[in-house]
Chain A
Amino acid sequence: MPDNPGLLGGATDPATGAPAPSTGVGGSTAPVEAMPSPESFVDTSVAAVAARSQGRAILRRFLRHRLAMASLVLFVAILLLDEIGSRLWPYTYSQLTDALNSGPTGGHPFGTDGVGHDMFAQVMRASLTSIELSLVVAAVSMVIGVAIGALAGYYRSWPEAFLMRFTDLILTIPILAILLVLSRQAARHAGSWLFIGLIIGFVIWTSVARLVRGALLSLRERDFIEAARALGAGDGRIILRHLLPNAVGPIIVNTTLSVATAILLESTLSFLGLGVQPPQTSLGLLISQNQGAATTEWWLFAFPAIFLVVIVLCVNFIGDGLRDAFDPRQTRVRA
């Protein structure tokens, strides 16, 4: 059941193709782990095994994932550039400069548009908005998705029925149609990126929910759940302390994917004029505003597009690294 909310065409990322293991600790497909790094030899000493706490072990495995680390560094750099760089930059994103339709120059490294907006300032501002929006989407879809998915996977009955009917709804009515109706309402009332983010989040949580439900359906049959119950653990404890932590891998991966999906969905909405509205700006809005200039004033289109692709890829690679880091069997040490 590929349940990827990015139903809007081929713009989805490579990681989407690989479904997350439903047990959360299952097979991992880390591309980067081919060679044992020096640390993995240190691991085999009893002292090293004993000394590390779980959090440290996860962190260490993540740090060793080179592609994910590089992506994280790049992602943070972009965030810092957006947050701090935009304050130091001589132009704001809405300011009109004297240079019209200028290509990349020393003063305007990303050029300017026909009314004199500095594209560097605009791209910084737009990528910040896109990232913030996608984090809102991730937070909303994760909270709703984990809650409903956990109830559905553990108790079945009505949460499962609700999840299934809602998923049917999302699958039969195209996600875009729902977003169009909702975001038109939102645009009328507020039209802010926060609203767009909440709306996208309220629509794409089913993906996380179905994943969590699937993971819990198989995890709840595992012996260690029975054992926990036999030692007096109640439903809440079993769900929160035993089941969900075993599903953290898929949850993280899926949430990360929803960050990427959200950025792409927002772009699509912007293309239809229903995304973030000016004077606010977003990468999707910039790209759609400037798509006509792709061949003539290429810088207007290319820089936002490059930022969009780089951010989406970074987020996906980070998700990949996190999934591997949460898998405690990555470094196997036998007693």
Chain B
Amino acid sequence: MDDALFSDDAPLLEVSDLSVTFSSEDGLVRAVRGVSFTLEPGRLLSVVGESGSGKSVTAMALLGLLPRSAQVAGSAKFRGMELLGRPDREMMAVRGAEIAMIFQDPMTSLNPVYSVGWQLVEAIQAHQEIDKDAAWDRAVHLLDTVGIPEARQRAAGYPHEFSGGMRQRVVIAMAMANDPDVIIADEPTTALDVTVQAQVLEALRTAQEVTHAAIILITHDLGVVAGLADDVMVMYAGKAVERGTVEDIFYWPRMPYTKGLLGSLPRLDASGDERLRPIPGVPPSLANMPPGCPFMPRCPISRPNCAEDEPVLRPVVGGGHLAACHYAEEVSPGDELFAPISSDAEVVE
């Protein structure tokens, strides 16, 4: 990697107007439609949205891992260096060393025929000139860091000898192996039992402390985000529809969709009769999207003009809080926009 390409005063990761289009039988699938965000060193940005909202595609675009059929436009600069359209050979030096990725399913993201220690050594040696014994020691140290008990012995074990939570720790250790500046974790706990999710997130936080990496934590579960994230970006139908600090988002969401996501969370502070308030309906198909706000069909405060102009992400009430809603100012923290799940027959429409 040519250090001259990096610039010291450029932001760590600056994504502007990223869009990704796939061609399919149903026409063009616009999976990501103009996403912009900046990632500061050491921060944890959470990208939240229902399944299919373009979170994974955004992540894969940053690492140049999309299939060739994907058309990628916009810009993504890592320390000032443009990542999009960079030749694969050069991206190889970025992947793992500067930006590492953790995938959703730890059951399938480890190679079944190698011991976990071997796989860590492999990850280390992909970027560092270091002899095998030293690499093995480092592998053991990494396993220890992410909370694998008896790391030296367990390093010789094979993936199938580990539980799901333990495997995801191994995957986190692999992501840490080359001290990346950015770690992207794509739904790292979705495939795991609820009981081990918190431990794996703790391991991720440890990884952040040790490597001082900035983290992009992708999830469809806002509940995962609350205690962990610094910033939140909410995605819907391939767009960022709300962005702000975690306080902004949790205390005063400005986009009805975000409010809906929060309403569908079980709340610990809820009094007895408060029930979940899920968002009715499903996200639109990304092929041949109609004009207007993609959330409109599901939105309780929509008005006729929402069907014509798609709102842009714009600042609300100053500060860094952005929302993509024509009526963001009308959304107040107290109002319940969505109907609760009914426990008896009187189903609310």
Contact = CB atoms under 8 A, between A and B. Distances in A.
Interface of A: 25, 46-47, 49-54, 222-224, 226-234, 237, 241-242, 245-246, 248, 328-329, 332-335
A224 B161 contact: no
Contacts of A46: 150, 153-154
Contacts of A335: 154, 157, 161-163, 166
B160 A328 contact: yes
23 contacts: A49-B161, A50-B156, A50-B157, A52-B156, A54-B114, A54-B115, A223-B105, A224-B109, A227-B171, A230-B100, A231-B177, A232-B92, A232-B93, A232-B95, A232-B127, A233-B122, A242-B111, A248-B113, A329-B112, A333-B160, A333-B161, A335-B157, A335-B166
B58 to A, nearest CB: 14
A24 to B, nearest CB: 8
Interface string B156-192: 1110111100100001001101100000000000000
B121 to A, nearest CB: 11
A200 B325 CA distance: 72
A318 to B, nearest CB: 20
B96 A231 contact: yes
Interface in B106-129: 108-115, 118, 122-123, 126-127
Given A25-B112, A231-B123, A47 B96 contact: no
Nearest to A245: B113
A226 B89 contact: no
A47 B177 CA distance: 26
B101 interface: yes
B63 interface: yes
Contacts of B96: 230-233
B112 A246 contact: yes
Nearest to A230: B101
Contacts of A232: 92-97, 123, 126-127, 178
A104 B100 CA distance: 73
B103 interface: yes
Contacts of B115: 53-54
B65 interface: yes
Given A50-B156, A232-B127, A25 B113 contact: yes
Contacts of A229: 65, 95
B63 A230 contact: yes
B84 to A, nearest CB: 16
Interface string B123-155: 100110000000000000000000000101111
B175 A231 contact: yes
Contact of B126 (A233, A245, A246, A248): A233
Contacts of A47: 153
Contacts of A49: 153, 156-157, 161
B108 A224 contact: yes
Contacts of A226: 65, 103, 109
Given A50-B156, A229-B65, A230-B63, A245 B114 contact: yes
A53 B92 CA distance: 30
Given A234-B92, A328-B112, A50 B103 contact: no
A190 B160 CA distance: 53
Contacts of B157: 49-50, 335
Nearest to B160: A329
Nearest to A54: B115
Interface string B79-99: 000000000010011111100
Contacts of B114: 54, 245
A230 B175 CA distance: 9
A232 B175 CA distance: 11
Contacts of B161: 49, 333-335
A334 B163 contact: yes
Contact of B100 (A53, A231, A332): A231
B179 to A, nearest CB: 13
Given A230-B101, A232-B92, A246 B111 contact: yes
A190 to B, nearest CB: 42
A332 B160 contact: yes
Contacts of A328: 112-113, 158, 160
A227 B122 CA distance: 12
Report the 6 A-B pairs with minimum CB-CB distance, sorted nearest first: A50-B153, A232-B96, A231-B96, A223-B108, A230-B101, A227-B109
B163 A50 contact: no
Nearest to A243: B111
B173 to A, nearest CB: 11
B75 to A, nearest CB: 21
A228 to B, nearest CB: 7
A243 to B, nearest CB: 10
A332 B158 CA distance: 10
A292 B25 CA distance: 67
Contacts of A329: 112, 160
Nearest to B111: A224
Contacts of B113: 25, 54, 245-246, 248, 328
Given A46-B150, A245-B111, 12 more contacts: A25-B112, A54-B118, A229-B65, A232-B93, A232-B178, A233-B92, A233-B126, A245-B114, A246-B111, A248-B113, A333-B160, A333-B161
